[in-house]
Structure 1
Amino acid sequence: MYWLLVLMTLSLFGIILLGLYFEIHPLPKDASAPQWFKSTVAINLLTLVGAQLGLLLLGIQDVMAIEPTTTQAVTGISLGQGLAMIGIGIPTAFATIGAGIALGPVGAAALAVIAEKPELLGRSLIFIGLAEGIAIYGLLVTILLYGKLG
């Protein structure tokens, strides 16, 4: 199973190195992406997704193959509890992504308004706070769900 982790790591490093290459040597505005670029990105993404699926399938198989022992106490958590904790974290993840998407245009518009009319700072902070509140609501839902799990 470690070979899948190595494969995923190498695939991620490949994507990062490709991004750094194009950051140093950007394409001209009128040029399209070269063919080797498209195939390299496709191969890297397919490798990463395939390795993740393989790791998921082999990881679940390894967890399910372990036989419970009655002589020693279980110190870890069960598969159901682990999946529940992942599920509990999902609202915070989606809420912070949504807050980031909302905060981008709102923050840019607020900066533009403040540059033209500084007296509108208070109103713009209210709108920024409303967009930021989305992430706080997600965190609140996660905390409430975690309380139900315990």
Structure 2
Amino acid sequence: MSLLVKMTLTAALVLSVAVPFGAFAAGERTKGRYKTALAVNLLMFFGTLAFAAVLMFSGNAMAAEGAAAAGKASAAGMGYLSAALSTGLSCLGGGIAVSAAASAALGAISEDSSILGKSLIFVGLAEGVCLYGLIISFMILGQL
């Protein structure tokens, strides 16, 4: 990938974080302001992600390489992408599950402390989802 493309993507990612929160920093602190900043941040982030995907899959970034090398690099890139997605999405789901299970467990423990062991089992099961995603990503990376 050329230096210009790398610099453009770096600048776009930095601006996707800096612009929304920097532009809405002054003024009254209301809930609507934070929602607007979050919406602009998400729009810029996913726009940058779409731009990077177009560059990655267009083939122009690897025009100097041969067709076989480009195909192999594309397959390896898809493998790395799938490993990252399996880890990231499983950890996201595990985090959501742990937040629900742990808050319910804390409420139950505050009423009856004898159920601590039972509640920790449910929190551990929710954390297991993250480990399964990590194991799958190691298996994917082992095939590359």
* TM-score (norm. length: structure 1): 0.70
* Higher helix fraction (1 or 2): 2
Q: Indicate the larger mover: 53-62 or 93-102.
A: 53-62
Q: Which residue in 2 is equivalent to 1:85?
A: 80
Q: Identify which of 3, 8, 27 aligns with 1:3.
A: 8
In structure 2, the CA distance between the partners of 1:139 and 1:41, relative to structure 1 (3 Å rule), is closer
- Equivalences for residues 1-150 of structure 1 within 5 A: 1=5, 2-17=7-22, 21=25, 25-27=28-30, 33=32, 38=36, 45-60=42-57, 61-68=59-66, 78-149=73-144
What secondary structure does 1:84 align onto?
helix
Local SS of the residue matching 1:66: coil
Structure 2 residue runs without a partner (length 5+) = none
Structure 2 distance, partners of 1:126, 1:107, is: 10
Larger radius of gyration: 1
Structure 1 vs Structure 2: percent identity of aligned residues?
A: 29
Separation in 2, partners of 1:100, 1:142: 18
State how many pairs are aligned.
133
Letter of the 1:3 counterpart: T
SS of alignment partner, residue 91 of structure 1: helix
> Alignment RMSD, CA only?
3.0
Structure 1 gap segments, 5+ residues each: 69-73
Q: Which TM-score applies when normalising by structure 2?
A: 0.72
The 3 A distance-change label for structure 1 pair 57 and 25 is same
